[in-house]
A and B are shown apart, each in its own frame.
Chain A
Amino acid sequence: MLERHSALDACRIAGDFGVSDASQPALLLSERPLGNLLQIAGWADFEESCRPIVNDFGFQNFGDYRSVQGFDTAECFAIAPDKILIRHKDDEAYDRLCSTIDPYKLAIVDLSHARCVISIAGEASEALMARLAGIDISLAAFPVGDFVQTGIHHVGVLIKRDETNVFEIIIPFTWAASIWDYLCTCALGFGYRVEGDQK
C-alpha cells in the first residue's frame, strides 16, 4: 500500500516561528489525520432514511447545524437540512454503504481525500481564529463541541472547537497549502510552533 500524500507535506515544516517571549509558544500548529469522510445526502424523507446509518456509526441523531455529534471513532456534522458529513475510522464503511443504501432515498459521496485537517492549539488560538474567520469565536458563542461552516481567506472551511484552546479546521485538499501559509502569517505575531508529523 502506498503512503498517503498530504497537501501540507511540503509546507508543514517543524520548528518555532515568530516572536514569543514565553518558553511555550502561544500557538501549536499541526496537521491531523482526516480518516474517512462521507457525505450522505437525501431528499424529503432524509432523516428517516439516514437514521439507521447514523445509528450504525453510534449516533443517536444528526445534531443541529452547530453541534458536532461525536466520540472517539466518529463525528457527525449536520451541514444542511438534507446533508450530513460523517468523519470516521472504518475503512470499509464507504463500500459497504454503497452496496446497501437505497439510491432512491440517499446519495453517498466519499470525501476522504478531499479535505485536510489543521489543528490550532494554545492560549492564542482564539485570538488567531478571530484573525482568520468572520465568526464569533468566543467560548460563549462557540463552545467546545460546536462547529461552523465559514470561510478563511475566501476558502470554504469547517471549523470545530475540540477544547477551549484547541480548534480543528477542515479544509479542501487543494486549498490547504495556501491556507496553511496564510494562517502561519497571521500567527507570526503570536509566535507559533509547528509540530512534527502527527498524521
Chain B
Amino acid sequence: MAGSRIATGGRIDRSVKLTLSFDGRKLSAHPGDTLASALMADGQLVVARGFKYHRPRGIYSAGVEEPNALVQLHTGAKSEPNARATTVEAIDGLSATGQNAWPNVRFDFGAMNQLFGPFLFAGFYYKTFIGPFRGTSFWMFCEKFIRKAAGMGRATKLADPDTYEKVNGFCDVLVIGGGPAGISAALAAGRSGAKVMLVEQDMALGGSLLSAPLVDQQEAWLEGALNELQNMNNVQILTRSTVFGAYDQDVYGVVERIGDHGQVPVLSGQRYWQIRTKQAVMATGAIERPLVFGGNDKPGVMLAGAARTYVNRYGVRPGRNIVVATNNDSAYSSALDLARAGAKVTLLDARLNVPDSLLKPLDAAGIKTFQGYGVIAAKGRKQVSAAIISATDENGVATGNAETVSCDIIAISGGWSPVVHLWSQRQQKPIYNESKACFIPEEGRLETMKCAGSAIAVGDLELTISQGFLQGTAAALDAGIKGEFGELPPSPTTPFADDWAREIHPVWLFTKANGKTHGKAFIDLQHDVLHTDIALAHREGYVSVEHLKRYTTTGMATDQGKLSNMNALAGMAELQKKTIPQVGTTTFRPPFTPVTIGAIVGHGHGRHFQPTRKSPIHDWHETNGAAMNEAGAWMRPRYYPIGKELLNDAYVREAAHVRKSVGMVDVSTLGKIAVQGPDASEFLNRIYVNGWKTLQVGRIRYGIMLREDGLVMDDGATARIAEFDYFMTTTTANAAKVLASCEHLLQTAWKDLRVHVTSITDQWAAIAVAGPNSRDLLIASIQDVDLSSEALPNNHFTHAKIDGIAVRIHRMSYSGELAFEVYIPSGFGKKVWESLIKFGEKFNVQPYGTEAMGALRIEKGHVAGPELDGRTTLNDFGMDRFASRKKPFIGSVLRNRSLLVDASRPTLVGLEFDGSSGTLPGALIFEASGPTVGHGEGWVSSTTYSPALGKNIALAFLKNGPARMGDTMRAVDFVGGTSLSAKIVSHHFFDPEGERQNA
C-alpha cells in the first residue's frame, strides 16, 4: 500500500463521506475528491493495464493528461469507457471498473503479452500480418483478435439514456483557463464592461493555486478575485467545461459537464457550447513532462506536480518513501510539500548547480538531495519498490556507480510543456524557446488570441497574474471595449520554487553508462510506445515527425501529445542529430480532450436527425391511415391501405382505379418558384432548353433545364400567370437546387436581368386529380367555370373556387390520364382536399400515393428522379428535338461534347418482363446469352408492375437502345440475385398517342 489519506488539509469536505466502488471494491471519499484521489487514498496502486503489453499501471497525473488510469464508469446503458480517473469527480454511489484486463487489473491474463514483448515493436501488426499471404483476408482475420487483445474500454451498444444539448454563446472576450492568469485576465476584461466568458475544465477555479498549500495570502487573492468576478453581471463563468476546439472565425467548441457530478436538477448530461468571441485569452497552463528511464511505467512512478496536488488539494499522500527526480525547480516545492505531509523524501536533480535558495528549505525539512543525479530505473514487480539512481552526465548517461534507493513512489519532473493545443488548432505553429525548453505560441501571430501565464511560460505567480491582467486588458481593448480596467490586483508573495522555466536543464532520458535503458523505457505510456520504437522508426527511415507519430502511434488516443510529444521529439532530434525546432512538432487537432459523441449530436438524433417537411394536407393523410415514407426531407403518403392490404396490392389497386375512374394525389411537394420581372421570359429562355418568349398568359409549358456541363438538371411545367409573372414547378427532389441555381445566376452572371425568383412551395398546396372522371369531379366541385377540352385544353390553366376557396386549376397530366392539378393556398389545402373527396364520392374518388403515381408515370414513360440522375442527357431521353437551335441556354455548348453525343450512349427504353416477376432499379442489362461480366449494356432506372398492361415493366438506359427494339436481354439484379429476361420496347408503354390525357 503506497497512498493514504493524511489527517488534515486538502480542499475536500471531510464532513461528508461518499462511497464509491472500483472493481467491486468499496472506496470512501469526500466531496472535492476525484476517483483517482479516492483510489490513491485507499492505497490502490494498480488501477489499469498497459495498452499493448498489459503491464500494471498506476495513477500518473492529477489532470486531463492522465495516460494510465482510464476506467469504465457506470454500468448498463450509462456505461462510459476511457474515463480518466483523475478528472472523474467523486460522487456517492459512483462505480468504476478497470478496463483492458481479464479478469481484473490486479491479475490480468493479458500480461502474457509481455512474453512476446520483443516482437511487439512499432509496425509489428503490419509487418507480421500483412504480406505472408496474398490479399488482406489474413490480416482481417487476425485483426479481430488483435483488437480484442489490445485496446481500451468498451462502448455500450445500448441506447444512451442521457440527454445532451447544444447552446450558442457569444462574448467579447473568451478566457480559456481559470488559473491565476485566466482569472486576472477575466478580471481586467470584466471590469472594462466587456462581455466575458471564463471557461475552466476543472470543477473549481484556481488552476495551479489549487495544488499549492493553503497559504492565507494566496487564498485571499483567489477568494477576492473570484468574488469580484462572480459579482459582475457581464462575466459568465463555466466550470467543468472544456474548450476542446478552436476554429476559424473565432469559434470555440466547449463541452460543459452538467450531470456528470450528480448535481440536480439537470437540464442535460452535457452541454455543447459553440462560442463565438471577438477575442480569446488562452490561459491554458502547462503540463508537466515525464522523464524516461527503465521501468518508468510501473505503478508508483508519477509526475512530481501531481504528487503535490494529491497532498495539497486532496489530502492524500501518494507514498511514504518518495524519490523525486527533476531537471528543473518546480519539483522542489513538490518535495517540500511531500515531506511536510510526512513522507521520507530524496531529491535527485540532473543539474549540478542548484542555488541555495532551493536547497536550504529542503535541507531544513530533512530531504536528502543529490545534484547531477538521475533515476536510471524503477525496480519492483507490480509496483515500485526501489529506484536505481546514479550520477549522470549532462545527457543523462550514468557516470557513476548505480545505487539502489528503497522507495514506493518515484515522482518525476522533466520540465513543463505549455498547453498550446488550441493555438495549434488555429493553424499556428508554436515556436521553440531554447531557454525554457518548450514550445510556446508566438506572440502577436493571431490578432484575436492572446496568451497568458504558463501557456507561454511566463514565469512565477506574480508575473503570471500581472501578465494575465495585461492580456485581459488588451483583449478587451481589441474587442472594442473602452471601459475602466482598474488597478492590477496585488499579487500574493511568489511561492517557493515557482518558476519551472528558470535554468531548466533539458535532459529527458536516463540510461546506463552504455547508453541503453535499464529495461523497457516508455515514451508514450498510453500506447505503450518505447524509447526503442523511436529508434526503430529512425532506422527505418522515418524523418518527418508526422510520420514518426503515425508509425509509432505516439501521441495518439487521449494523450494527444500532452505527455509524450516533447520526449518523442527530443528522441528524434537526438537520433537525427538535429535540434528540436529543426525536427518540428506535430499539429494538434480537436478535440483537446475526448468529447462524447452525444454532446456533439445534441438533440439531432432520432426524429430530430433532420427536419421533416410535411405537406399542408399531411394531417389528412395521417388521419386516414396512409402509409407514409420519406421522400427527401418530405413525408409523403406511399399508399392508402384498405384493411390489411399491403403495398403491392394497394398501389396496383390505386393505379388501376385512376385509369378506370378518378384518383387524387397530394403533389404539394413539387417545387414552386415565382419567376417575376420584366426580363422573366428572357430568364426562362436562358435556363430552359426550349423557348419561352411566345408562351401566352394563361398557358403552361413543359421545360427541361441542363447543368452547365450539358447534363440534364431538372424538368417541370411553368405557367404564365401574368405578363411578367411565371409560376415555375420543379421536381420535388430538385426544388432547392433549381432555386439556388436561378438565384446564383441572377446574382452573378445575369445581374442585368430584372428578375426575382422566390420559393412559393410553402404558399401552395397542390392536388392532382387524375382519371377519366376527373373533369366531372371538378365540375361538381366548382361553380361557373368551363373545364371542357375546348375551354381548357391541355397546358392551360384557369381560376375557380372550391367551397369558396380561390384555386387555380392547371390542365396537365403526369399519369397519362385526363388530369388536372389544383393549386390551393396552403392553409386551405386540407379543406379543399376534403371537399374534393366529398364531391368525388359519387365518382368513387380514391386517394393514391407515390407508389401508384410512380406506376402510372412509368406506364406513360415519363422520366423522374431515377432518370434525372445527373448522368443523363437530353438525347438519352430521346428529347434532343426539344432543345432550341435558335438561342443559347445553360448547357447548350457543353451538351455537344463528343462523349455526350456519342450515338452508342445508353438511351431510354422500356423493358417488358416475362413471367410474374420484375427486377429492381439498379439491375444491369446484359445480352440474352453471353457472359455476365462488367457493367453490361445498360441499367434499369425505374420498375413497376403495370396494372394497365398486366405485366412487370421498367424504364432503362441501354446502349444503342433504339436499334434493339424487340430484342430480348437479361436484367441482372446482383443485390437480389435475380436474372430475368426482358423484351426491349418503347418506353411509352401506355397510350402512346396521348388520347386519354387529351380527352
Q: Are chains A and B native binding partners rather than an unrelated pairing?
A: yes
Question: Which residues does A use to contact B, with CB under 8 Å?
Answer: 1-7, 9-10, 19, 21, 39, 41, 43, 82-83, 103-104, 107, 109-115, 130-131, 133-138, 140-141, 153-155, 172-175, 177-179, 181-182, 185-186, 189-190
Known: A10-B622, A113-B826, A131-B166. 10 other contacts (CB 8 A): A6-B827, A7-B616, A9-B619, A41-B756, A43-B677, A107-B725, A130-B167, A173-B763, A174-B826, A181-B608
Whether B725 and A136, one on each chain, are in contact in the complex, defined by CB atoms closer than 8 angstroms, is no
Residues of B within 8 A of A103 (CB): 676-678, 722-725
Chain B residues contacting A179 (CB-CB under 8 Å) are 611
- In the bound complex, residues from chain B placing their C-beta under 8 Å from that of A190 are 267
- Give the CA-CA distance A77 to B620 in the complex, in Å: 34
Say whether, besides A10-B622, A173-B616, A178-B613, A138 and B170 are in contact (CB < 8 Å).
yes
Distance between Cα atoms of A154 and B754 in the complex (Å): 30
With contacts A136-B170, A173-B826 known, is A21 near B265, CB below 8 A? yes
Q: How near does chain A come to B247, taking the closest CB pair, in angstroms?
A: 13
CB pair B616 A5 closer than 8 Å: yes
Q: Contact: B168 with A114, CB < 8 Å?
A: no
> Are B166's CB and A7's CB within 8 A?
no
Q: Contact check, A182 vs B170: say whether CB atoms are below 8 A apart.
A: no
Per the bound structure, the CA–CA distance linking A136 and B829 in Å amounts to 37
A residues less than 8 Å from B678 (CB atoms): 103-104
Instruction: Supply 7 A–B pairs (Cβ within 8 Å), ascending by A.
Output: A7-B826, A10-B619, A107-B725, A107-B756, A177-B614, A189-B268, A190-B267
Q: Are A185 and B608 in contact (CB under 8 A)?
A: yes
- Is B610's CB within 8 Å of the partner chain A? yes
Contacts of B169 in A (CB 8 A): 130
Q: Does B108 contact A (CB under 8 A)?
A: no
Complex-state Cα separation, A180 to B387, whole angstroms: 66
The answer to whether A7 and B825 have CB atoms under 8 Å apart is no
Structural contact, B168 and A130, CB atoms closer than 8 A: yes
Is there contact, CB below 8 Å, between A154 and B195?
A: no
Contact-size category for B: 35 or more
B828 at the interface (CB under 8 A from A): yes
User: In the complex, are the beta carbons of A178 and B168 less than 8 A apart?
Assistant: no
Q: Are B825 and A113 in contact (CB under 8 A)?
A: yes
Q: Which 3 pairs, one residue from A and one from B, show the smallest C-beta to C-beta distance?
A: A189-B267, A107-B676, A136-B170
A156's closest neighbor in chain B, by CB? B759
Chain A binding site: helix, strand, loop or mixed by DSSP?
loop
User: Given contacts A3-B831, A5-B619, A130-B168, is CB(A174)–CB(B756) below 8 Å?
Assistant: no
| B393 in the interface (beta carbon within 8 A) | no
Task: Report whether A182 and B603 are in contact in the complex, using a CB–CB cutoff of 8 Å.
Answer: yes
Chain A residues with CB under 8 Å of B613's CB are 174-175, 178
Q: Which B-chain residue is minimally distant from A104 (CB atoms)?
A: B678
A5 with B603, Cβ < 8 A, contacts A109-B676, A173-B762, A174-B616 known: no
Determine which residue in A3, A174, A182 has the highest number of CB atoms from chain B within 10 A of its CB, and name it: A174
Q: Which residue of A lies closest to B827 (CB)?
A: A4
Q: Are B760 and A5 in contact (CB under 8 A)?
A: no
**B615 lies within 8 A of chain A by Cβ:** yes
| Segment 722-771 of B: residues with Cβ below 8 Å from A | 722-725, 754, 756, 758, 760-764
Q: Is the CB of B611 within 8 A of A153?
A: yes
Complex Cα distance A137/B829, Å? Answer: 35
Set of chain A residues within 8 Å of B634, measured between Cβ atoms:
174
* Neighbouring A residues of B677 by C-beta, 8 Å: 43, 103, 107
Please indicate the chain B residues that have their CB under 8 angstroms from the CB of A185 in the complex: 603, 608
- Is B562 part of the contact surface with A, judged by Cβ < 8 Å? no
Bound together, the chains give a CA A82 to CA B957 distance in angstroms of: 46
A2 touches B803 (CB 8 A): yes
Interface contact B803-A134, CB-CB below 8 Å? no
* Complex alpha-carbon distance, A174 and B672, angstroms: 13
Residues of B within 8 A of A39 (CB): 758
Q: Please report the C-alpha to C-alpha distance between residue A42 and residue B806 in the assembled complex, in whole angstroms.
A: 27
A41: B residues at CB distance < 8 A: 676, 756, 758
**Nearest Cβ on chain A to B666's Cβ, whole angstroms:** 12
Contact: B611 with A1, CB < 8 Å? no
Which residues of chain B are within 8 angstroms of A104 by Cβ–Cβ distance? Answer: 678, 724, 754
Please measure, in the bound complex, the distance between the C-alpha atom of A42 and the C-alpha atom of B761, giving whole angstroms: 21
B611 engages A43 (CB within 8 Å): no
Give residues of chain B (810-865) contacting chain A, Cβ–Cβ below 8 Å. 825-832, 835
Smallest beta-carbon distance A89→chain B, Å: 15
